[in-house]
Amino acid sequence: MSPAPAPDVDAGGRQRLDPNQQALVARARALGIETVDLSGDWGCDAVRYRKGDREALVFMGQQFPSLTAHGATLCDHKHACKALLADAGLRVPEGVFFFSPDGARAALQALLDRHGRVVVKPVDGMHGDGIRTGIVDMDALVAHWRTIRSCRAGFLAEQQVEGDDLRIQAIGGRLVAACRREPASVVGDGRQTIAALSAARDAVCRAQNPLNRLILDDDSRALLADQGLHPDDVPAAGRAVRLKSLTNISMGGRPVDVTDRLHAAWPSVVETIARVLGLSIFSVDVLTADPGLPPDAGHVIEVNARPEWLHHTFSEGRQHDIAGMILAELLG
């Protein structure tokens, strides 16, 4: 499948349509579906899709008419969302919601004592922003909270669970694709520096989705130091070098398709999530040792009510016509 088209840029140099929306428009045109780009008139990323007497207004290529305020509010609050999923019998990491560590010190300390290692994140974050894994004591928890304390919706400290990142896509409340997300990495060739290798990988990421970036940041430098490396070092040929602690594709993570390897119970778990949260088109983030294990072997981390889906169109191993499936769901 071809990579996402380059972004439209308006007179002010701003990108007009999100790459997910651009891919949806391109697929609609290929299918003979009428598209009306309202972004110029409205000043927001909105496209109307029309087929016969049916039409659907889509924002950012990720927000569809079926999304209710109820569903969006639930998914935008990771703690509330997980509470509902736990009530429905799904396995989620134990978490403590807090505004300031002082207000929840006993519960946070108990979480640290029980699990040893916790993750702290904004309760309404996305794209991995503000997430710190590997927090082992109250001092580190408070130090990280100070760096993200301006997030007004509050914070979540969560049991750190192990496993690979599994991203499941649902359309019409049904599982359609899944990939394992691997953190950004490069493989040495014995000639180029880590900085040069990651710049080359960054170019690939941008070609797949112009909003994705592989940038060597503090997290990367800390990980490199753990591996005894510096961005200017030249890794030996064949040596794999990890560059991010998180697997978000927007930070250069790699999607590897695992749809055909998923345990047979996952589709019904996805249908339960759709029913409990009242969602149709969404994605689920899971941590599991292996996608072939029963869902109970892993933990559901979050549900995205406005899912980015483009990575399933360039995932390694197998690609999916997500845009075509979304258009069929919206317009029949």
Which positions lie near ligand ADP, rule CB under 6 A?
A: 78, 93, 119, 121, 125-128, 131, 133, 158-161, 165, 246-248, 285, 287, 301-302
What is the closest distance, in whole angstroms, from the C-beta atom of residue 30 to Mg ion in the complex? Answer: 30
Give whichever of 91 and 221 is closer to ligand ADP, judged by the CB atom. 91
Name which of ligand ADP, Mg ion, none residue 58 binds, using a CB cut-off of 5 to 8 Å depending on partner kind: none
Give whichever of 45 and 308 is closer to ligand ADP, judged by the CB atom. 308
Residue span 244-283 as binding mask against Mg ion, x where in contact by CB under 5 A, dash where not: ----------------------------------------
Name which of Mg ion, ligand ADP, none residue 119 binds, using a CB cut-off of 5 to 8 Å depending on partner kind: ligand ADP
Q: By CB under 5 A, what part of segment 107-126 binds Mg ion?
A: none
**Cα distance between residue 122 and residue 254, in whole Å:** 24
When binding is defined by CB under 5 A, the residue of 18, 165, 285, 308 that contacts Mg ion is 285
Name which of ligand ADP, Mg ion, none residue 82 binds, using a CB cut-off of 5 to 8 Å depending on partner kind: none
What is the closest distance, in whole angstroms, from the C-beta atom of residue 295 to ligand ADP in the complex? Answer: 16
- Written as one string, the DSSP assignment of 198-240 is HHHHHHHHHHH-TT------HHHHHHHHHTT--TT--PPTT-E
Q: Collect all residues with Cβ–Cβ distance below 8 Å to 74 and sequence separation of at least 6.
A: 80, 81, 84, 277, 303, 305
Give whichever of 28 and 273 is closer to ligand ADP, judged by the CB atom. 273
Inter-residue long-range contacts of 190-194, CB under 8 Å, 24+ positions, other chains counted: 190/234, 190/235, 190/236, 190/237, 191/234, 192/234, 193/231, 193/232, 193/233, 193/234, 194/224, 194/229, 194/230, 194/231, 194/232, 194/233, 194/234, 194/235, 194/241, 194/243
Give whichever of 216 and 303 is closer to ligand ADP, judged by the CB atom. 303
